[in-house]
Amino acid sequence: MEALAGRRSIRSYKEEPVSKDIVLDLIKAAETAPSAGNLRARKYVIVTNTQIRKTLAVAAYGQSQVETAPLLVVICADVLRSSRRYGDRGSLYSIQDAAAATMCLLLVAYDLGLGACWNGAFDDQIVKDALNLAKDVLPVAILSIGWPAESPRAPPARDQDEVVSWIE
């Protein structure tokens, strides 16, 4: 509960890099996520290259945290892998696999003292081209990650009555 309540989207980072060992821990955390049929229909592209970060920031409509973060993890849905077993439903499952992994990664990033932001607003095609993704691999989230240089307040929560319905 502490991590769930304390995690925030962090968009400002120190210049200090994130070590490879930590990156591997983040991926390990992501891979603990549940997955439809345990197919684990997701892929991770790890980007530290300055030029590719710039290109991805352009793809993300100029969002500066995508360029300034020392580390980007692009979490992708492996649509083909899931569709081979589940047909049309596979597309949704692979996106859910990727989203579940994203959340696990974000929580462990917070636990390790990192700051991270889930960036979902981007042009798919520019990202696919920049990362050489196969046709059936869909980028779902660009996670910008680094050592935090801000500590924003929690946004207001929605009233539970607005989002919960009970069927008794």
Ligand X SMILES: Cc1cc2nc3c(=O)[nH]c(=O)nc-3n(C[C@H](O)[C@H](O)[C@H](O)COP(=O)(O)O)c2cc1C
8 or 128: CB nearest ligand X: 8
- The Cα–Cα gap between 30 and 34 comes to 9
Q: Which residues pair with residue 9 across a beta bridge?
A: 116
9 or 68: CB nearest ligand X: 9
Q: How far is the CB of 22 from ligand X (least distance, A)?
A: 20
Q: How far is the CB of 166 from ligand X (least distance, A)?
A: 25
Q: Which residues pair with residue 50 across a beta bridge?
A: none
Residue 145 · residue 109 · CB < 8 Å: yes
65 or 83: CB nearest ligand X: 65
- The Cα–Cα gap between 9 and 62 comes to 17
Q: How far is the CB of 167 from ligand X (least distance, A)?
A: 27
- The Cα–Cα gap between 153 and 58 comes to 27
Q: How far is the CB of 20 from ligand X (least distance, A)?
A: 26
Q: How far is the CB of 19 from ligand X (least distance, A)?
A: 24
- The Cα–Cα gap between 165 and 149 comes to 39
159 or 168: CB nearest ligand X: 159
12 or 48: CB nearest ligand X: 12
Give the interface with ligand X as residue ranges (CB under 6 A). Answer: 8-9, 11, 63, 117-121, 155
3-class DSSP assignment, residue 113: coil
3-class DSSP assignment, residue 17: coil
The CB-nearest residue to ligand X is: 120
3-class DSSP assignment, residue 141: strand
